[in-house]
Amino acid sequence: MNMVLLIAHGSRREQSNIEVREVAKRLEEDAAGSFDGVIPAFLELAEPSIQSGVALCSEAGAHEVTVVPYFLSAGRHVVEDIPRELGKAAKLHPHLQIHMRRHIGGHVEMTRLLYHSALGPSAGDK
Amino acid sequence: MNMVLLIAHGSRREQSNIEVREVAKRLEEDAAGSFDGVIPAFLELAEPSIQSGVALCSEAGAHEVTVVPYFLSAGRHVVEDIPRELGKAAKLHPHLQIHMRRHIGGHVEMTRLLYHSALGPSAGDK
């Protein structure tokens, strides 16, 4: 069983955290053929934490956890903080294979998304 | 002439700002059929500012500026700060048509990008 852990920064503004949870929900639907579920987790300021998120994957029966950092740049959070938290989680859950993917700002498809966004409707349009 | 203004938050970590400029550069190449150029700008902590970015578009000969907020959630920066700065810029450059697109976290293609990211190579792979 392979779960995705979608890790976002977390915000004091709850609406931003809700937006991440909604993205995770849509991803779960779209990725149902390849992954058994998607759990959102937050580096700080929101719940579940990365540790709790990995524990939730384990409780759900995961053997593999695919970590997608929902970050636009490879800053300290991506380079140091998330790997450190995943290292701690790996010690607590030695049966889990944890794979960390690149931050999404580094994904080759980001340029296409930005292009389509530039072509698309304005912020105020429905 | 239609320029894209790619607005990111800006970081104290210069490598993150460089990453944004590289994304803008790639976007400029990919979007060459639809837009005449892409200028990166930063809400804070890096240059050019939003005001300077709009001025650069104007100096380049733009009549239209398409603003793409390179933000994952519709927080205060997207909802208040960027529109406020664009409002100021519009007064200074009344000949420019400025269109603001949605933040990219709200784009319908984000789920696909995340899915492909989850399927893709690990962070450490080349």
Tell me how far CA of residue A112 lies from CA of A78, A83, A107, A109, B28, in angstroms.
23, 28, 10, 5, 11
**What pLDDT, on the 0 to 100 scale, is given for residue B26?**
96
Q: Is residue B126 within 8 angstroms of chain A, CB to CB?
A: no
CA neighbor of B77 nearest in space, from B3, B5, B7, B16: B7
This complex has an ipTM of: 0.93
> pLDDT per residue over A75-124, tens digit each?
889 999 999 999 999 999 999 999 999 999 999 999 999 999 999 876 65
Residue A126: pLDDT over 50: no
CA distance A66 to A6: 8
Closest residue, chain A, to B75 (C-alpha): A16
CA neighbor of B21 nearest in space, from B53, B64, B51, B65: B53
**What pLDDT, on the 0 to 100 scale, is given for residue B126?**
42
Q: Report chain B residues whose CB lies below 8 A from the CB of A114.
A: 6, 23, 27, 31, 68, 70, 104
Residue A7: pLDDT over 70: yes
Task: Report residue B123's pLDDT band, with 50, 70 and 90 as the boundaries.
Answer: low
> pLDDT per residue over B30-77, tens digit each?
999 999 999 999 999 999 999 999 999 999 999 999 999 999 998 889
> Where does residue B71 rank: exposed (0-12), middle (13-18), buried (19+ CB within 10 A)?
buried
Average pLDDT score over residue span A29-56? 97
Distance of CA B101 to the CA centre of its chain: 10
Average pLDDT score over residue span A7-26? 95
Residue B125: pLDDT over 90: no
